[in-house]
Structure 1
Amino acid sequence: MSADVSTAESATGIGRARTLLLAVVCGAAVANIYYAQPLLHTIGGEFGVGNGTAALLVTASQVGYALALAFVVPLGDLLERRRLVSLLLLGCAVVLGLAAAAPGFALLATAVALVGVTSAVAQVAVPLAAQLAGDHERGRVVGTVMSGLLIGILGARTVAGFVAEAGGWRWVFALAAGVMVVLAVVVRLVLPVVPPTESTSYPRLLGSVLGLVRHEPELRRRMLLGAVGMGCFTILWTSADFLLSAPPYGFGPAVVGLFGLAGLAGAAMAPLAGRLADRGHGRLVVTLGLVVLVASWALLGLGGASIVALIAGVVVLDLAQQSLQISHQSVIYALAPQARSRITTAYMTSVFIGGTLASAATSIVYPAGGWVGVCVLGGAVALVGLGVWFLPRT
């Protein structure tokens, strides 16, 4: 039988098995949002809709995820977290099963939107890991869990492509539903009870998110930097498919999907960045990370004609972005330990907005300026991050 989280347990730490479990939960949950991306053409063909209409599936999942960031993730401070994680995983399994069996496009789109809502369990699991971790290991633990999340984002398209090739697109959602059920059971058995940190009403809980943003200047700074990092990440991956499928490369969909695995190098950097943060070197990590982020766009610029430079640029950018993300989260989770879920809501909402704006800007810049224009845009966004970082602290 699981015991309540105690001061003694927090001092001894979360343990490797629980850390890895939460990393898997994060990766598997966030992958649900991205499975549909390489399947749009196939799904559209089955339901007789055009590519533009099929692309609404991506929009539906993103809208669902954004709503959950605002209205579901804060519940991690108000409800017992282990139970909340288990319920969200089971809910995700149900709507994934609905997506797998959907007889029409409208029902599929509705199910995918609900998948986005329930997949926000990933953003409940990260502050849960921070809560269970001891003070001496919090950065490393958050880094490991975030590695799982990054692997989920970058690996989802490759997994979906292989599964759909073998058994059809419905099997992608069906197998994902099975994974969610298994994880819900394991979470219930392995994790301890984590009591809520707030006893206020739900409306007051939501209102307090804005209060945290208003009263914590370092949170605002990290929100801006998080938006910059995700903006650079989104600019790269929004435009990379266009570059790789056109001359001089002309790769097919399978190779383009596999190319995303180059970004997994960033997952290896996350625990190291976390350890440096635990040892008091977080500021150095951010400074170097932002400098490397700017430099990565010079490498990527050369990637328009050199596959080696392109792969190197992808690896360097993802290393920088992951290091920055871990440093930011290590800092913000220490600002208000009783409000980690609400802090996650504020931070991840800013990150999500940064990615959305960057995606829109890329869709304008790429047709006009091509790959070079995109790299100039990415470099400019990274320089904005450096400027924010060196602004005087208030």
Structure 2
Amino acid sequence: MRVALAGGTRRGRVVGTVQAGLLVGLLASRAYSGILGKCWVAGGVRGIRAAHRGAGGAGQHAVAAARALTSPPAGRLADRIGGRSTLAIVLAIAVAGWAALALGHRELGWLVVGTVLLDVGVWSNQVVNQTMLFARDGALHSRLNTLYFSTRFLGIAAGSTLGVVNWSAYGWPQVGLVAVTCLVVAAPIACSRAVSR
């Protein structure tokens, strides 16, 4: 509804801002639930739980903050240079993320860089896709959004399955190679004029 009210020239900006708001709300709810949960944890368990959540929780929040900060610029970029060009950029970011993750199986720094790049690429991709989707006839928005998220989650399930199979058989570098291959194969299709006009 917010996109429909914004009009044609600012769709990407609106989608990016709405997604950033959702992500910030998610971060705030996690922080609030963490504080509330600590009231219910008794002495010894409290220390174990805090140690377990410390670095991992901070890392998750940092990655989520990066995605929240980059969603609005991705939408504005889609408005300015178009969906296809922006998709090419965010898919390149995701490829760079997987390349860093492939190196990260032995180096923590590469793992951090890869995680942030991959997350930013994937969430920016969602902003751009929805920006292009909302450029279509308003009467189709609900159906197209349903179709988009259904195929997105089917893709996530297929990717998870491929990841587990490759991890079990060949190890972490093969997972990265399969992911990069999938992105490189998908990029020309996603960025083609016929798909994204």
**Structural mapping, 1:365-380, within 5 Å:** 365-380=166-181
Give unmatched runs, 5+ long, in structure 1: 1-127, 169-250
Aligned to 1:259: 59
Superposition RMSD in Å: 2.6
Q: Pick from 118, 121, 125: which aligns with 1:320?
A: 121
1:200-255 superposed Cα distances (whole Å, 9 cap, x missing partner): xxxxxxxxxxxxxxxxxxxxxxxxxxxxxxxxxxxxxxxxxxxxxxxxxxx94543
1:260 and 1:167, CA in 2 relative to 1: closer, same or farther beyond 3 A?
A: same
User: Is 2:105 the partner of 1:282?
Assistant: no
Tell me if the contact between 2:91 and 2:187 (Cα under 8 Å) persists in the aligned partners: yes
> Which amino acid counterpart does residue 272 of structure 1 have in structure 2?
P
1:277 and 1:358, CA in 2 relative to 1: closer, same or farther beyond 3 A?
A: same
Aligned to 1:333: 134
Cα offset, 1:163, TM superposition: 3.5
Tell me if the contact between 1:139 and 1:326 (Cα under 8 Å) persists in the aligned partners: yes
Q: Pick from 298, 308, 313: which aligns with 2:109?
A: 308
Aligned to 2:146: 345
Tell me if the contact between 2:13 and 2:73 (Cα under 8 Å) persists in the aligned partners: yes
Cα offset, 1:290, TM superposition: 1.4
> Which amino acid counterpart does residue 184 of structure 2 have in structure 1?
L
In 2, Cα distance between the equivalents of 1:363 and 1:393?
A: 33
Cα offset, 1:286, TM superposition: 0.9
User: Is 2:163 the partner of 1:362?
Assistant: yes
Cα offset, 1:365, TM superposition: 2.6
1:149 and 1:377, CA in 2 relative to 1: closer, same or farther beyond 3 A?
A: farther
Aligned to 2:47: none
1:285-313 superposed Cα distances (whole Å, 9 cap, x missing partner): 11111122112111111211222211111
User: Is 2:17 the partner of 1:144?
Assistant: yes
1:368 and 1:255, CA in 2 relative to 1: closer, same or farther beyond 3 A?
A: farther
Give unmatched runs, 5+ long, in structure 2: 42-50
In 2, Cα distance between the equivalents of 1:153 and 1:389?
A: 29
Tell me if the contact between 1:366 and 1:373 (Cα under 8 Å) persists in the aligned partners: yes
User: Is 2:40 the partner of 1:167?
Assistant: yes
Paired residue total: 185
> Which amino acid counterpart does residue 255 of structure 1 have in structure 2?
A
Give the structure with the larger helix fraction.
Answer: 2
SS in 2 for 1:145: helix
1:364 and 1:151, CA in 2 relative to 1: closer, same or farther beyond 3 A?
A: farther
1:344 and 1:389, CA in 2 relative to 1: closer, same or farther beyond 3 A?
A: closer
Aligned to 1:195: none
Cα offset, 1:326, TM superposition: 1.3
Tell me if the contact between 1:293 and 1:321 (Cα under 8 Å) persists in the aligned partners: yes
Tell me if the contact between 2:84 and 2:190 (Cα under 8 Å) persists in the aligned partners: no
1:259 and 1:271, CA in 2 relative to 1: closer, same or farther beyond 3 A?
A: same
SS in 2 for 1:347: helix
Aligned to 1:131: 4
Cα offset, 1:151, TM superposition: 4.3
> Which amino acid counterpart does residue 58 of structure 2 have in structure 1?
L
TM-score w.r.t. the length of structure 1 is 0.42
In 2, Cα distance between the equivalents of 1:351 and 1:297?
A: 19
**Structural mapping, 1:50-65, within 5 Å:** none
In 1, Cα distance between the equivalents of 2:28 and 2:188?
A: 32
TM-score w.r.t. the length of structure 2 is 0.79
Tell me if the contact between 1:158 and 1:258 (Cα under 8 Å) persists in the aligned partners: no
> Which amino acid counterpart does residue 383 of structure 1 have in structure 2?
V
Aligned identity (percent) is 33
1:317 and 1:153, CA in 2 relative to 1: closer, same or farther beyond 3 A?
A: farther
